[in-house]
Structure 1
Amino acid sequence: MKLFRMAAVLAVLAGPAYAQAPHINLLQDGPGKTDDEKAAEAERERAYKDTLKKIPDAKTSSDPWGGMRSDPPKQAAPKASAATTTKKPKAGTAAAN
């Protein structure tokens, strides 16, 4: 029974190490491409690059929540008049010379 447990532990510990082993392809590479296939592939690649050049650059907003807002932001409340916001010196300070 101890031998079975040791074999099970060894198998569990060896699994991740086995997964890291290099995989070797024992099959030979397929036949190479003919000149016609190479020319057709080059033409497809050229047409693909030409098509990519025709796509205009999109100017997108950098605000990810821009589509969630239904109204423009509210304006801040008007500020109070200048007379009420000026600070008066306290009576105990030496404001007058």
Structure 2
Amino acid sequence: MRVLCAVAVAVLLSAPAYAQMPNVNLMPEVKTKTQDEKDRDAVNDRAYKDSLSKIPDAKGSSDPWGAVRSDAPKAAAHPAKPKTKTGSSAQPAGSAQRSQ
């Protein structure tokens, strides 16, 4: 009798949770394309590729402030100094004596 009551309680408690589950079809019907649809897709793909080939390449500079500047942009002023294991900048051997 106890087992029957336990099963009944489990069923009653799981029924509301089961009712909240959405009706999801995990295996939808597979749709195949007809030959007309395949031909139409092929024509559309060719037209898309043709339109991409008609786009000109950008040849000019994309710098909007290029006409405003008086000189050309400068490259890196100084090369990066090598770091030691402690993280401080390493100085060449002779430069410490010259700076004093």
**TM-score using structure 1 length:** 0.39
More helix by share: 1
**TM-score using structure 2 length:** 0.38
Q: Which structure is higher in RCO with an 8 Å CA cutoff and minimum separation 6? A: 2
